[in-house]
Amino acid sequence: MGFFDFFKSIDINSGLEQYRNTDGAVLVDVRTEEEYAEGHIPSSINIPLSNLNSISYKIEDKDTPLFVHCLSGGRSAQAVSILKRNGYSDVTDIGGINGYHGKIER
């Protein structure tokens, strides 16, 4: 990884394409319940960052591919660290929904 790699932003749209092409993958939105209700990506599940330690109640298999996003990318980066510490082995940060170009559900 080079110096300028730190300045590259994550493209949620590319991450979603990868999610759609991954068998058994789960799209996890770690924004608050209120933010999620205002609009979310279809097929995503909402597990707020503050409740992330309880994810095993929804996703028991720790080898399940997880694609995590939030509003701008800050919370999703934190979520990836938490999930990996909790034993989830296949976790990808796809950034923030504020860069998303697609359908939104309410």
Structure tokens at 101: 């170009």
Torsion of CA 33, 10, 19, 14, to 10 degrees: 130
Q: Which of 26, 30, 66, 70 is catalytic?
A: 70
Q: Is the dihedral of CA 45, 100, 36, 95 positive or negative?
A: positive
**Is 70 labeled as catalytic in the residue annotation?**
yes
Q: Output the CA–CA distances (angstroms, integers) from residue 24 to 9, 20, 42, 53, 70, in the order listed.
A: 26, 9, 16, 21, 21
Q: Which residues are catalytic?
A: 70
